[in-house]
Structure 1
């Protein structure tokens, strides 16, 4: 081939057991952090993201918890055109995205039913909603794994109106 066989690290030369051990050791050496430290960092990132979500919803003046948006996403997911598009692209119906939309709607309706939102200072509905959105941000790898989020003080909401 185009490369030198002695410099490759394929599983053919070393065997599958050695390749798996090297990959696991490489991951251990790359991270090198105890899981408790990573959990604390994740908790701090989630708490910062919750504050950002709450400040963002106050600045824009939008209702942070709207079940209509979740319902619209669910209906759009089950529409005929969306399912035909999923069959064309993936070869089957797109149930995973529809299940995700259904879980969002179910979570939203449970929040609306379970919490009293009469006190604007103690708004548990929007806090739980923003907490869930913040946790979703860190479920998969994202840019904050590489870059540190810049601390920006939110603007006064009265200035924007």
Structure 2
């Protein structure tokens, strides 16, 4: 388990998503979300998931995304944008906090000090490794 708490992870993800998708026009539409759901269920996606993970692809979340999109159609564009950012941020935060076979490292808050290390050359000058 990550040492990061859920709300902190959500705030970090929201900040990142707001930079990645700066305006309400950048939010994918309901047709795109429905297409993503359908593409998740095609034979090629299912076979790839079976090969990689040993199980069929789970497409429920993509269907929930589509339903959420349809239910937010009557919202003001800024409200819809904020709701979509929050929903995606929570999804990414859950992925970051829970264990995954794809976990390799945690995101650093600050760069490593004195990296890369400096190594002396034979002539006395110094080179980054």
TM-score range, shorter chain: 0.5 to 0.7
Residue ranges of structure 1 left out of the alignment (5+ in a row): 1-26, 32-37, 118-122, 151-161
Residues 1:64 and 2:27 aligned together: yes
The match for 2:117 is none
Give 3-state SS (helix, strand or coil) of 1:140's partner: helix
The separation in 1 between residues aligned to 2:105 and 2:49, in whole angstroms, is 34
* TM-score (norm. length: structure 1): 0.49
Structure with bigger strand share is 2
Structure with bigger helix share is 1
How many pairs are equivalent?
Answer: 103
- Residue 65 of structure 1 and its aligned partner are, at CA, apart by 3.8
The separation in 1 between residues aligned to 2:7 and 2:62, in whole angstroms, is 25
Q: Which has more radius of gyration?
A: 1
Residues 1:139 and 2:94 aligned together: yes
Question: Which runs of 4 or more aligned residues in structure 1 lie more than 6 Å from their structure 2 counterparts after TM superposition?
Answer: none
Cα deviations by residue, 1:28-82 (Å, 9 ceiling, x for unpaired):
xxx6xxxxxx64xx323322321331232127x8521422221111111222443
Taking only aligned residues, the RMSD between alpha carbons, in angstroms, comes to 3.4
Residues 1:52 and 2:16 aligned together: yes
* TM-score (norm. length: structure 2): 0.59
Residue ranges of structure 2 left out of the alignment (5+ in a row): 97-102, 112-129
Higher RCO (CA 8 Å, separation ≥ 6 residues):
2
CA gap of 1:138–1:145, structure 2 versus 1, over 3 A, is farther
Is the contact between residue 14 and residue 85 of structure 2 (CA under 8 Å) also seen in structure 1?
Answer: yes
Is the contact between residue 65 and residue 129 of structure 1 (CA under 8 Å) also seen in structure 2?
Answer: no
Cα deviations by residue, 1:92-124 (Å, 9 ceiling, x for unpaired):
643x2x2121111111211224x133xxxxx11
